[in-house]
Amino acid sequence: MSAKEDVIEMEGNVEESLPNATFRVTLESGQNILAHLSGKMRVNYIKVSPGDRVLIEMSVYDLTKGRITRRLPVNRGPAEAVTTEEQPTLKPDVSNEVSEPPAETAENDKELGKE
């Protein structure tokens, strides 16, 4: 058996950040485990904070510890999703309108030397 066959992958939510890149994670099944960041996540400076959804790899031999291998996008329910009605509408910018030149009057003609 290879090492990849001896892991269980599960999704969970980070509940608490602990020292040394260790986190307390609640799995979808309700089980709480301790998990540490994988090496690639440390090298690439991927930040994990409480409230994030993560993908966990656990060994079949110890189901209380795991390795965080991926940070997942947060699920937005239908109530939280932004609808087209809520999106702000763009208003035309009035300040960029071109103003008409001032009407020429007799006074302006005299100032410019025109008659």
Q: Along the 115 residues of the chain, how does pLDDT read in single tens digits?
A: 456 678 999 999 999 999 999 999 999 999 999 999 999 999 999 999 999 999 999 999 999 999 999 999 876 655 555 555 565 666 665 565 566 666 666 666 666 666 5
DSSP string, 18-73: ETTTEEEEEETTS-EEEEEE-HHHHHTT----TT-EEEEEEESS-TTEEEEEEEEP
In sequence order, which residues have a C-beta less than 8 Å from that of residue 74 and are 6 or more positions away?
Answer: 51, 52, 53
pLDDT given for residue 34 in this prediction: 97
Both tokens assigned to 74:
């947060």
What pTM, to 2 d.p., does this model score? 0.61
Neighbours of 63 (CB within 10 A): 13
Domains annotated for the chain, with CATH where assigned, are 3-72 (2.40.50.140)
